Structure 1
Amino acid sequence: MSAPTLVFDLETIPDVAALRLLHELPDALSDEEVVEYAAQRQRARSGSDFLPHHLQRIVTLAGVWDNGHDVKVFSLAAPELDEAEILRQFFAAIDKKRPQLVTWNGGGFDLPVLHYRSLLHGVQASAYWEVGERESEYRYNNYLGRFHWRHLDLMDVLAGYQTRAAAPLDQIARLLGFPGKLGMDGGQVWGAWCRGEAAAIRAYCETDAVNTHLVFLRFQWLRGKLDERELKSALDRLREHLEKLPGAHWREFLAQWPLTAADPKI
């Protein structure tokens, strides 16, 4: 891969302060009661208790940096960092390194959340929002265009930009022989946060980012950007990095990642 890539994933919880404000709820209600009230209102309107993007508060952003030679898994997470600082560090890295961003359903979830939360916290991101007004190369390939690949939404591309063809990351990862989701899913994050399980949320987000990166590597082989030797080298490099990281979630992840996973079937 000639350009650095940043594969990333978000985990969010309901923005309780915003819900209190918009619904004019009393302070006497607990956070859990506020969220349940908002979820019931949302179900009545849409049939789903999934809250709108602008009411999602980021508690973890995990990613995988890969420049073709070195790979690094990282996470920015609460309670060590507040949401504004998570955003500042993320966009500062984009401004400095100008990577290709890779997500799974990033266009449908992660990017809109980043947009609204950056607006709320006043976090500037000049490179991210560039569309060719200052740098002409961004006119036809920027982070915002759905059909541009400076941000590659793997789910959207593989589905042929057809919503009805979209597939879950967990299933695609497991079909390719990768571990898939470990420990929890997105619907369990709020409950885990209420129980004080921030570390478990962080671990879950990190493994999701790595699953996405693994699928991305296979996709790069599929489109001829990596040959068999380069794909194996990239997979080996990632495995070696994970083996050096602390955390029981990496031991579990590696145990469920066979050495032959994602070998091209040709």
Structure 2
Amino acid sequence: MNLLVFDIETVPDTDGGRRLYDTEGLSDEDVARIMFHQRRQKTGGDEFLPHYLHRIVAISVCLRRGDQLKLWSLGDPESSEAELIERFFEGLERFAPTLVSWNGGGFDLPVLHYRALIHGIAAPRYWDVGEQDNSFRWNNYLSRFHWRHIDLMDVLSGFQGRAVAPLQDIALLLGQPGKMGMAGSLVWDAYLAGERGRIRDYCETDVLNTYLVYLRFQLMRGQLDRADYDAEQARVRTLLEDDSRAHLQSFRAAWAG
């Protein structure tokens, strides 16, 4: 089975903000301030933008396929949003993997839907609910209670909004490194500072945290026995040992196991 754990990082879609709020001629930073202000006015204080006004600047994935485990960020730091989204859906077309996320159903996938719509990106396998492949009628990416996309936050909460937990807290409770000083709320500042590489690194560590939670989930539901679980954790450790990049070595050092 092919398994793809994924995460996205986003910033305000300032081009969209210019269209919606007639702010041509202003800098991205000033447009974003207006977008946040408009959002606070509408919500009574919450400035988190609606899904369709997020622009994707990083997509990181961990692919478990055969005997391989691979972690990377799609494209490069200068890749356009459209290229990142195209690469993501091309991977789904090629491998038809089981998707794993943390809050992917509530955030990542809806953002990908809107941004793919804006860029005119086709993803027929992702949107299939049985018209092309009959097996997708009973197990597809879109249905909340199917297993082709496992949103761990949603599943572990029993699909109850009042029971959801942040990835950071669950990761730390399981002895994982968590976010190590970075957070989604800091991505915009990092982007303005030109730190696209740092954003991608952070996205990759979120994917690692999510994958380790997934392994524990599979142990809990009996899909892995203890020996298999230990072997999969060892596979993650080997991946970290073989990759000298600083953020992964920091993750390795912080991981209690």
TM-score by length of 1: 0.94
> 2:75·2:87 contact (CA, 8 Å) conserved in 1?
no
Match of 1:97 among 91, 95, 98: 95
Contact 1:94 1:128 in 2 (8 A): yes
Question: Is the Cα–Cα contact under 8 Å of residues 15 and 57 in structure 1 kept in the other structure?
Answer: yes
Unaligned runs of 5+ in 1: 262-266
Moved over 2 A (4+): 77-80
The corresponding residue for 1:210 is 208
Residue identity matched to 1:198: R
Size of the aligned set, in residue pairs, is 256
1:226 maps to a residue whose letter is L
1:219 aligns with 2:217: yes
* 1:80 to partner: Cα distance: 2.6
Kindly indicate whether the alpha-carbon contact (under 8 Å) linking 2:9 and 2:59 is maintained by their aligned counterparts in 1: yes
Post-superposition shift, 1:227?
0.6
The answer to whether residue 154 in structure 2 is matched with residue 193 in structure 1 is no
Q: Distance in 1 between matches of 2:77 and 2:168?
A: 27
- Three-state SS of the structure 2 residue aligned to 1:17 is helix
Gaps of 5+ in 2: none
Find the counterpart in structure 2 of residue 129 from structure 1. 127
SS at match of 1:144: coil
Mapped contact 2:187–2:199 kept (Cα < 8 A): yes
What corresponds to 2:8 in structure 1?
10
In the alignment, structure 1 residue 35 sits paired with structure 2 residue 32? yes
Percent of pairs identical after alignment?
51
2:201 corresponds to 1:179: no
> Structure 2 matches for 1:13-24, cutoff 5 A?
13-24=11-22
Per the alignment, residue 50 of structure 1 pairs with 48
- 1:264 paired residue number: none
Residues 211-240 of structure 1: per-residue CA shift (max 9 Å, x gap): 000000010010000011111111111111
C-alpha distance in structure 2 between counterparts of 1:18 and 1:78, whole Å: 23
